[in-house]
Chain A
């Protein structure tokens, strides 16, 4: 009794601080939330099946996306260590060539190696006869990402004073292929996960609608607003997506441990924001596509 009185008093205090129009909206929202709760409780054990399936899909999506991000970081970093060697003519204006190379887009750094230093280094490494230095002045050019190597190389070749160029072509080709594969796999997985989320939620909400068809039909005929009918079903879908996404975060975190080991092996630091980006994407895909799936289903099966 005393508890009831305290609750009533608290209710009155809250109400007195809310303007009248707002109070109406708040009540409508509160009642829509109750309808959502009813919808979920009516679904019973099906809820577990739906959330588990959603979690499985989002786990696959999240793990592949997370791996792809790590892989990309490694590939890009390895690409950055690859460099183009540009050999200069004896008559070339070194400063002018360096300046032109630096102006090429995607060039990260340019290092000038005088021919004397190259010759001395070579003599240290191998036993060479005492002849006149045959080596040219060299520029070591690094690019930002591996995919831009070809482009930069082409532009360097066109510069006056550059006699020849070389780079680890096989390595670059392999890294570029790996990069492309990782991008394609991630893209396909994202599309696949989104589609599956839409289909599963669509079917689930269809079941809910079939169970409540008569009730919804009566609500419609009695003049209940379209949004009052739609919102709880959309929210129900979004809740399934959110729960699935939250569960999927655990295996995604587990996979991160193994990816860190891979980074350690290559001695390349991981991308700091990779995990937050993946978690945010999983939550966004889970919630948005689940809500979208509900909305599509409502449009298909109800005249609201």
Chain B
């Protein structure tokens, strides 16, 4: 699904990532851990092409995205769901509109959009909040809307950058459960986090970064293990 070969990202003189080699298979659930400044977000940003690698190759579904023409980036992003720490929801739009927004731009019929949005809302357990505004929801609920928006297109890959960073332990657990359920539907999930409790609780593959390099890559790993 995702292959990184000798990937280096350098900001001016300082390398943020150095010679990263990583292979994530389809259907896997992977935690990307490490302290602040380890390079987690940089790696995530390179996967959804917000940043380009300085050196090395990144393959997603066999496509070398390092050479991707800027006009093709939206196509790539539509093939993956992205979840952000700050939710990135449109505050003046309803939950339904937030989720339907991207699907609408694809020229899909209103009926199909409705079906897709309700199905996504069901997965995150918010089918009764379709008409609410994000401001009327708790942080945990807003993050669930964000996950619903990420999965509404049925992407094969979901990238979540610190999805529990702004949440309390109870909501964090809820979000992780949803991500696990999404993964069980066959979607590859890559989550960057420094929430040790969640990593230890789910016991999935853990790729730990430190100073821009992979410190450990452990199947069914723990945060400190």
Q: Which residues of A contact B (CB under 8 A)?
A: 23-28, 31, 214-215, 217-226, 228
A217 CA / B71 CA spacing, docked (Å) = 16
Additional pairs, 19, CB under 8 Å, beyond known A24-B106, A222-B82, A225-B74: A23-B109, A24-B107, A25-B107, A27-B107, A27-B108, A27-B109, A31-B107, A218-B90, A220-B74, A221-B84, A222-B149, A223-B77, A223-B78, A223-B102, A224-B74, A224-B102, A226-B70, A226-B71, A228-B105
Main secondary structure of the interface of A (DSSP, over half): helix
- A27→B82 CA distance, assembly (Å): 25
User: Is the pair A222, B102 in contact by a Cβ cutoff of 8 Å?
Assistant: yes
Question: Is A221 touching B88 in the complex (CB atoms < 8 A)?
Answer: yes
- Distance between Cα atoms of A25 and B108 in the complex (Å): 10
Which of chain B's residues 83-128 have a Cβ closer than 8 Å to chain A? Answer: 84, 88-90, 101-102, 104-109
Using A218-B90, A221-B82, A222-B82 as known contacts, say yes or no to A28 and B48 having CB atoms under 8 A apart.
no
Using CB atoms, name the residue of chain A closest to B82. A221
B101 contacts A222, C-beta separation under 8 Å: yes
List the 3 closest A-B pairs by CB distance, nearest first: A223-B77, A24-B107, A223-B78
Residue B50 lies at the interface, judged by CB distance under 8 Å to chain A: yes
Q: Are A225 and B88 in contact (CB under 8 A)?
A: no
One digit per residue, 1 when the CB lies within 8 angstroms of any chain A CB and 0 when it does not, for chain B 190-203 equals 00000000000000
Q: A218 — which chain B residues lie within 8 A by C-beta?
A: 88-90
B76 at the interface (CB under 8 A from A): yes
- Asked whether B107 lies within 8 Å of A226 as measured between CB atoms, the reply is no
B76, closest chain A residue (CB) = A223
CB neighbours (8 Å) of A24 from chain B are: 106-108
Docked complex Cα distance between A214 and B98 (Å): 13
Q: Given the complex, which residues of B lie within 8 Å of A224, measured CB to CB?
A: 74, 101-102, 105
Which residues on the B side are within 8 Å of A28 (C-beta)? Answer: 105-107
A226 touches B106 (CB 8 A): no
Query: Any chain A CB within 8 A of the CB of B14?
Result: no
Residues of B within 8 A of A225 (CB): 74-75, 105
For the complex, what is the distance from the CA of A31 to the CA of B105, rounded to whole Å? 7
Minimum C-beta distance from B142 to chain A (A): 13
Known contacts A24-B107, A27-B107, A28-B106; is-contact A221 B77 (Cβ 8 Å): yes
B90 touches A215 (CB 8 A): yes
Can you name 18 A-B pairs with beta carbons within 8 Å? A24-B106, A25-B107, A27-B108, A214-B90, A219-B101, A221-B48, A221-B82, A221-B88, A222-B78, A222-B149, A223-B76, A223-B78, A223-B102, A224-B74, A224-B101, A226-B71, A226-B74, A228-B105
> In the complex, A196 Cα to B93 Cα: how many Å?
35
Shortest distance from the beta carbon of B80 to any chain A beta carbon, whole Å: 8
A200 CB to nearest chain B CB (Å): 27
Taking the nearest CB of chain B, how far is it from the CB of A5, in angstroms? Answer: 16
Shortest CB distance A31–B (Å): 5
Q: B71 contacts which chain A residues (CB < 8 A)?
A: 226
Determine how close the nearest CB of chain B comes to the CB of A231; give it in whole angstroms: 11
Contact A223 B75 (CB under 8 A): yes
A11 nearest in chain B by CB position: B110
Contact among A31, A215, A220, A221 with B104 in the assembled complex (CB-CB below 8 Å): A31
Report the minimum CB–CB distance from B90 to chain A (whole Å): 6
Interface centre among B48, B50, B71, B74, by most chain A C-beta atoms within 10 angstroms, is B74
What 1/0 mask marks residues of chain B from 7 to 41 whose CB sits below 8 Å from any chain A CB? 00000000000000000000000000000000000
CB-nearest residue of chain A relative to B109?
Answer: A27
Which residues of B have CB within 8 Å of A217? 88
